[in-house]
Amino acid sequence: MPQGVEVRVLSWAKFIFIYFQPMQKICPSLRYPFDWEHRRPMFHNDVFFVPEYYTKHSSDKFTNLQTYFGNKNPMNIEYCSGNGEWIIDKALKHPNINWIGVEMWFARVKKIYAKMIKNSLKNLLIVSGEGYAFTKNYLQDCVIDNIFINFPDPWPKDKHAKHRLIQQAFVLELKRIAKKNGTATFVTDSVAYKNQMLNEMIGWNKICYSQGDYGTSFFDRLWRSKGLEIHYLCYENS
Ligand SMILES: C[S@@+](CC[C@H](N)C(=O)[O-])C[C@H]1O[C@@H](n2cnc3c(N)ncnc32)[C@H](O)[C@@H]1O
């Protein structure tokens, strides 16, 4: 190999080593901690895993939230966090609030995790699992101050509406975990889902919502760029 080429190859190798080595240290990627056969609810790398199709839930496997965060700060939860953009921004802007992000698609959990590590966030708990299963089996009564669900999967066809997250059983769980006067805010572009939310939020007071600095997310920008109207529904636990 001519000398110049050799030097160039070496310098590329050095560049790759120097560039990616610290990146890997700063942003280690999250791996699924068990195979199907050995799946069980567990904390791993500061993420709480609730496996799919698991039936032997036991809440003693989950630490009390105040113990987990080590403080008595207010506790906010976002379901359907996607790539985590919205909740990471909130956790950075409000360090005196504890945040819980629940996302069931592991590829997206990994993205939230990378952002959490990159920003050294200590006030965020990521839950890798399905929202209803986590809430029903692991959250105590009256522990959450504010609940947020931004752009939950709309399941637009009527025959698929049964798959929507916000329905009676889940709403009852939200009421159970919310503190008195706690709030629930839902954001959607889907008119059908908005109507379902309005019908299902029995036992909650609908309150006016002032958009203020609500924050944004991937799907927020996507649907706005297509000219869709975004609906904000806000409730208070009476
Ligand atoms: C349309 S995306 C919205 C993501 C994000 N909130 C945003 O605005 O960009 C819906 C997300 O909810 C997650 N999801 C759907 N049903 C869920 C459930 N029952 N529990 C937890 N996550 C769920 C999906 O995996 C997906 O990442």
Q: What is the pLDDT of residues 38-79, one digit of tens each?
A: 889 999 998 999 999 998 998 777 888 989 999 999 999 999
Nearest CA to ligand 1 atom 24: 80
Residue among 216, 132, 227, 145 nearest 182 (CA)? 145
| Regions of the chain where pLDDT drops below 70 | 1-28, 211
pTM score, two decimals? 0.89
| pLDDT (0 to 100) of residue 24 | 43
Active site residue 153: yes
| pLDDT (0 to 100) of residue 22 | 44
| pLDDT (0 to 100) of residue 170 | 97
Contacts of 134 by beta carbon, 8 Å cutoff, 6+ apart: 48, 50, 102, 127
Domains and CATH numbers, the chain: 31-236 (3.40.50.150)
Nearest CA to ligand 1 atom 1: 153
Which atom in ligand 1 lies closest to the alpha carbon of residue 105? Answer: 25
Write out the DSSP string of the chain: --HHHHHHHHHHHHHHHHHHHHHHHHSPPP---S-STT---EEETTEEE--TT-----GGGS--HHHHHTS---EEEEES-TTSHHHHHHHHH-TTSEEEEEE--HHHHHHHHHHHHHTT-SSEEEEES-HHHHHHHHPPTT-EEEEEEES-----SGGGGGG-S-SHHHHHHHHHHEEEEEEEEEEES-HHHHHHHHHH-TTEEEE----SS----HHHHHHHHTT---EEEEEEE-
Backbone phi, psi, residue 125, to 5°: -110, 125
| pLDDT (0 to 100) of residue 88 | 98
| pLDDT (0 to 100) of residue 199 | 95
Q: To test the ligand 1 pocket, which listed residue (153, 166, 189, 225) has its Cβ within 8 A of the most ligand atoms?
A: 153
| pLDDT (0 to 100) of residue 2 | 55
C-alpha span between 145 and 61 (Å, rounded)? 23
Which atom in ligand 1 lies closest to the alpha carbon of residue 129? Answer: 21
